Each structure stands twice: as structure tokens, then as C-alpha cells.
């Protein structure tokens, strides 16, 4: 363990920084008795010093100081049908299947999108950053394009922006912007600053309106790249990484894994071909899984 770890640092914080998950996830792991320090099963609230050995499920956790890691963030264009879980017992595709491999770390999803929702999903190797980006207290905007089926009038829109009592408390959209079009299916862009389970869908359903399509198009100031195919990912530049870090009161990064040299046309073309090939391979696998499930 690095000498630079503060002696009274919380165990869940150290594990999150090691890329094992968010702080909240690590609290559950500790509470389940899966973590030990110097051979003794840990309890929630324990702190660790610089020379102690941490094990998770019996495996030694490689710890590095916060300043030793280069914080990385990926933008991923999630297709409908993918699960926001690492592994699925039924073999269904997950959002982690195509991400680039990390040496000694793992990607952590910043929040979740349900299986029928597509669009912008962020991943990072920094558990503390992921944890803070998910907290409603930092009020980071999430914008969705939503297609609804049902009668929507001015009164409905006013109710949705004033507040609705859901099963888990009051919720509302900060803003609803109608998009051009007519007919029973209408598109709107909606804005909120929290990510409760199926919150967008539940808000509309509370007014007797069904959601037929839901796409996350923006997270904070980061807009989904329209050229990024579904199932494709791209790593964010240092300026974007530091935008998110500043948004949640974390110190700025000074390094990036991205090349500082302009990408050549041939390199860009080869990269796009790899993305398309990966997407096509994944789509084939998804169709096969769906076919097998129908048998």
C-alpha cells in the first residue's frame, strides 16, 4: 500500500479509489463481510493505515494513492437491450462487454440506464469521481429525449415541472421542451438533476402518459456525440475530465492517456472501423441470445 495514503482514511474510500466500485457499493461489500484488513474481517467504519494489507473476497487489493492514478472517463452510446450490470446469468449483453481493458483496475458506470433506455452513459476508473457524479447534492443536469404516447396538455406539463409524489418521494422535471411534430406520439426534451430508478418514465406514467422511447442526450455539459454509433465508446479529453472533476469539487488532473498529437486521418478511420466491427459483433451476439430465449 502506498505511503501517501492518509492513516485515518476510510476503507470504502480506499477500495473505491482502487477501482473496485463506488463508495456506496464498497460499503455494502464491507457490510457483507467480504473485506479483511491484516487477516481480520472488516466492519463498516473501519479505517486503514499505509502498511496494512487489504483483501477483497480473499484477493489482495492493489492500492495506489490518488495522485498516482490517471483519471479516465469514457463516453458510451448505450443501445436498448443492454443491461447495466457486469455479468448476466442469462448471458444477455451488458454495457461492460465492449469497453477497453484496464490493467489492475476496472471501469465503473456513473449511474445506470434501464434496459430499454439508450444514449449517453459515462464510465470512469475513479470510484470517488463516479460516486460524487451520482450524488443529487451536486445537481449535475441530465437531459433526455423522450417520446410519449398519450394526451399531453399544458396542465400535464405544469404538474410535471411543479412536482409529483412518487413511491420514493417528490420528483419533478426542471424543464420540459416540446420538439417539433404532431400526432399521438410526441417528442420532448426533459431536464432533471438526479437519477432515481426509472424516474423519467415514472413521472410521465403518473400522468397517464406512456414512454415509448427514452434517450439520454446530455450529462452536465457533455452532449452525446451524434457520430458515435450505438455500442461505441470514446475517451474524453483532459478538459472534459477536469470539467467533471471540478463539478464535484475534486482536484484537476494534469495527465491523460490520450495522445496529445492530432489524430491522423488513417488512424481515425481505423479506429472507426474497429468500433463498427465491435458493434456489429455485439449486435450479432444479441440477436443470437434473443433467438435462443425464444426457443
> What DSSP string describes 173-197?
-SEEEE-S--SSEEEEEEEES---T
Q: Are 129 and 71 in contact (CB under 8 A)?
A: yes
Any residues with CB less than 8 A from the CB of 4 and at least 6 apart, and which? 50, 65, 67, 68
| Whether the Cβ atoms of residue 95 and residue 76 lie closer than 8 Å to each other | yes
What span, in angstroms and rounded, lies between the C-alpha atoms of 209 and 221?
29
Residue 128 is placed in which grid cell?
470517488
Name the strands in the sheet holding 35-37, side by side, starting at the edge strand that comes first in the sequence: 40-41, 35-37, 54-56, 59-60
Supply the DSSP symbol for 68.
Answer: G
**Residue 3: all three cell numbers together:** 505511503
The number of residues in the chain equals 295
76 burial via Cβ count (<10 Å: 0-12, 13-18, 19+) = buried
Per annotation, catalytic residue among 31, 57, 114, 210 = 114
Distance CA 39, CA 200 (A): 45
Residue 205 CB-density burial (10 A; 0-12 exposed, 13-18 middle, 19+ buried): middle
Q: What is the dihedral of CA 171, 224, 147, 211, to 10 degrees?
A: -50
**Which cell numbers in the block locate residue 239?**
478538459
Active site residue 114: yes
Residues serving a catalytic function are: 114
Amino acid at each position: 500500500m502506498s505511503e501517501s495514503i492518509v492513516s485515518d482514511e476510510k476503507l470504502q474510500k480506499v477500495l473505491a479509489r482502487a477501482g473496485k466500485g463506488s463508495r456506496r457499493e464498497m460499503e455494502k461489500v464491507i457490510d457483507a463481510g467480504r473485506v479483511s484488513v491484516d487477516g481480520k474481517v472488516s466492519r463498516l467504519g473501519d479505517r486503514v493505515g499505509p502498511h496494512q494489507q487489504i483483501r477483497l473476497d480473499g484477493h489482495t487489493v492493489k492500492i495506489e494513492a490518488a495522485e498516482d492514478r490517471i483519471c479516465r472517463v469514457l463516453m458510451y452510446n448505450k443501445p436498448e437491450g443492454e443491461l447495466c450490470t457486469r455479468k448476466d446469468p442469462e448471458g444477455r449483453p451488458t454495457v461492460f462487454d465492449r469497453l477497453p481493458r484496464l490493467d489492475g483496475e476496472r471501469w465503473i458506470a456513473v449511474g445506470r440506464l434501464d434496459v430499454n433506455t439508450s444514449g449517453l452513459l459515462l464510465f470512469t476508473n475513479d470510484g470517488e469521481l463516479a460516486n460524487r457524479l451520482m450524488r443529487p447534492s451536486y445537481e449535475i443536469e441530465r437531459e433526455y429525449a423522450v417520446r410519449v404516447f398519450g394526451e399531453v396538455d399544458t396542465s400535464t406539463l405544469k404538474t410535471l415541472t411543479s412536482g409529483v409524489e412518487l413511491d420514493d418521494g417528490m420528483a419533478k422535471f426542471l424543464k420540459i421542451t416540446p420538439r417539433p411534430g404532431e400526432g399521438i406520439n410526441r417528442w420532448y426534451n426533459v431536464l432533471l438533476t438526479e437519477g432515481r430508478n426509472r424516474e423519467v418514465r415514472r413521472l410521465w406514467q403518473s400522468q397517464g402518459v406512456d414512454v415509448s422511447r427514452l434517450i439520454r442526450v446530455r450529462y452536465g455539459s457533455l452532449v452525446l456525440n451524434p457520430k458515435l454509433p450505438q455500442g461505441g465508446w470514446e475517451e474524453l479529453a483532459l478538459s472534459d475530465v477536469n470539467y467533471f472533476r471540478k463539478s464535484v469539487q475534486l482536484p484537476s488532473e494534469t495527465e491523460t492517456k490520450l495522445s496529445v498529437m492530432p489524430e491522423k486521418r488513417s488512424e481515425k478511420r481505423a479506429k472507426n472501423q474497429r468500433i463498427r466491427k465491435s458493434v456489429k459483433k455485439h449486435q450479432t451476439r444479441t440477436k443470437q441470445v434473443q433467438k435462443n430465449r425464444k426457443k
